[in-house]
Amino acid sequence: MSERPVVMTSREGVPLFGILHEPDAPRTPRTGVSLLNPGLKYRVAPNRLNVRLARALERRGYYVLRLDPPGIGDSGGDLPELPLPELWQRIQRGALVESVVDAQRVFERECGLAELVGMGNCGGAITSLLASTAHPTCRRLILVDLPVTLRADDSNPHARIRGRAHGTWVLAAYARRAGDWRAWLRLITLRSDVGTIARALRARFLAPKKAAAAGSPGGTPAAPAGAAEDERLNERFIDALEAFEAKGGEALFVTAEQDNNTIQFDTMFGSTRLAEPARARRHRRITIRGANHIYGLPEWRDELAGEVFSWLDGRGGAR
């Protein structure tokens, strides 16, 4: 096995830096995973998640490219001088797609790939989906905490908890970990998101009372329909998904249970369009119980990796 730095050039002449992982015994047919950065973070990802995943995939015979898009990490170019929420919105509209496609084409050509698998977390997930339409060989996607909406305003989604039902939903997610001593340690040492807990408490007990949300069979409040009231479905996401499906594509959708974005995912897509019979048969949806957006604990990362490997090995390619 080996990993080495590579520098490619975008169509605008911007140098794109990445790390290429090359397996000793490549799978047949040759398969590469384009592992994109989450949002504005660089190729390593929080808790070195992308490094861990890339090395494990390499051991399983996959080529892997970890890329820094323009203006991020060690790549050239500059990001616009805009507030972070607006930059996130631009990524969700496809701001990084062209450069990613350029790098992926070099990856396919130089490694002699028969198949390209797109993978990413959050902003990397939506970029992977949007870029997949440019690659005939990309028929599998691994989309972790995929953002599916655009906001009417540019508020921070992690700070927004709306209404009693939404507050109840967030508090219930924390309550399910009440028996885990590590959760209490994180709370005592202020490593838990105390601000989110406080906002959830205010919403639960002080927000104007609305119609109660229907509970799930296990008694946990369902993600409330009104939680995303100022969100709209990203039409570019839907168009790209339909184009991906038209060429026979299959996706693994992964969500973190304690990620607020999961509410938007479920409300706008997961419990509606993804639940349609044709899509339910084609794709797979899993939720990592207790996990947060950055998969901060080892067991969350291990479960995520296990689900990824199981799905990849069971959906075509060499065994």
The 10s digit of each residue's pLDDT in 191-247 is 566 666 777 787 777 766 654 444 444 443 444 444 444 568 899 999 999 999 999
Residue 142: what pLDDT?
98
Domain match, 70 and 92 both = yes
How many degrees, rounded to 5, is the angle at CA 259 between CA 254 and CA 262?
Answer: 60
Q: Do 191 and 45 sit in the same domain of this protein? A: no
Average pLDDT score over the chain: 85
Domain boundary among 228, 257, 280: 228
- Residue-number span of the structural domain to which 266 is assigned: 2-155+231-313
Sign of torsion over alpha carbons 261, 93, 242, 139: negative
Asked whether the predicted pLDDT for residue 119 surpasses 80, the reply is: yes
Pair 87, 107 in one domain: yes
Per the model's pLDDT, the better-predicted residue between 251 and 212 turns out to be 251
Residue 308 lies in a domain: yes
On whether both 39 and 115 belong to a single domain, the answer is yes
Whether 171 has a pLDDT exceeding 60, the answer reads yes
The 10s digit of each residue's pLDDT in 130-140 is 999 999 999 99
- Does residue 195 form part of some domain? yes
Q: Are residues 255 and 283 in the same domain?
A: yes
d(CA 78, CA 72) in angstroms, rounded, equals 8
The answer to whether the beta carbons of residues 124 and 40 sit under 8 Å apart is: no
How many distinct structural domains can be found in the chain? 2
Nearest to 312 by CA among 52, 67, 118: 118
Determine the Cα–Cα distance for residues 297 and 14; give it in Å rounded to an integer: 36
In a domain, 318, yes or no: no
84 and 110, same domain (yes or no): yes
- Residue 195, C-beta contacts closer than 8 angstroms, at least 6 positions apart: 159
> Could you give the C-alpha distances from 67 to 16, 78, 114, 307, in angstroms and in order?
7, 16, 20, 23
For residue 231, the model assigns a pLDDT of 67
Whether this prediction's pTM lies above 0.75 is answered by yes
Q: Among 175, 204, 228, where does a domain finish?
A: 228
